[in-house]
Amino acid sequence: MCRHVGWLGAPRSVASLMLEPANGLLVQSYAPRRQKHGLMNADGWGVGFYSPDVSGGAPCRWRSATPLWGDASFASVAPALRSSCIVGAVRSASIGMPIEPTASAPFTDGTWLLSHNGLVDRAVLPLSAAAESTVDSALLAAHLFDLGIDRLGETIADVGTADPGARLNILAANGSELIATTWGDTLSVLRTSDGVVLASEPYDDDPAWQEIPDRHLVRSDGADVDVTALKGTV
């Protein structure tokens, strides 16, 4: 299992989203509060964000196979990285899966950033030369990119039907939209005066955090948040 967080709104630093909160991804890498599977997330981390200085609008990424708490270089640079759209993740590798930078979320197709918090049988996913790693999350990301993120809810429901034991919490962003699913694990939303946070678990004790029900699809443009039940679950 893993933990992830996404931001869409006014520009803020990567550190303010991942490292500085009292229970941000840094703390969740060694002491998550709501994680249902696994005790730590020490098998890698990653962050992706969008910058107006990058031509074509492609996202920037920084990924590692080391624990987030041990990366002094990232800690020193993260306060200087600012974006209006950020996706960060810490990883707990499933048994038998490789631990390598390319196995850490977020994955990308050059437009979208995508993180998978969960587990899925690779046998139900098509092989793809576009997958960044052989891990289940990378194969799932390639499958979702191939079918289109606009069909995320439908595709997740289909994958969940093919693998009833799958856990399929997805968080994706393209610079102007956040979209997520809950399927087997937790997700919370925080609406602020200047944007929206989606996170596997709240990164502080602000009472404004709201938990998203299981097997739902979430969409946000950084202001409004729309939550709908996934196909076949109502």
Q: Do 114 and 145 touch, CB atoms closer than 8 A?
A: yes
Q: Is 60 a catalytic residue?
A: no
Alpha-carbon span 16 to 94, nearest angstrom? 28
Q: End-to-end distance of the chain based on CA atoms, in angstroms?
A: 26
**What proportions of the chain, in percent to the nearest 5, are helix, strand and coil?**
25, 30, 45
Angle between the N-to-C axes of helices 136-147 and 152-162, in degrees from 0 to 180, rounded to the nearest 10: 130
Alpha-carbon span 25 to 106, nearest angstrom? 14
Residue 158 neighbours by CB distance under 10 Å? 15
Which among 191, 200, 176 is positioned nearest to 224, based on CA atoms? 191
Which among 188, 34, 210, 46 is positioned nearest to 116, based on CA atoms? 46
Alpha-carbon span 31 to 34, nearest angstrom? 9
Helix (H) or strand (E) holding 45: strand 45-49
Helix (H) or strand (E) holding 155: helix 152-162
Report DSSP state, residue 211. E
Which residues are catalytically annotated? 2
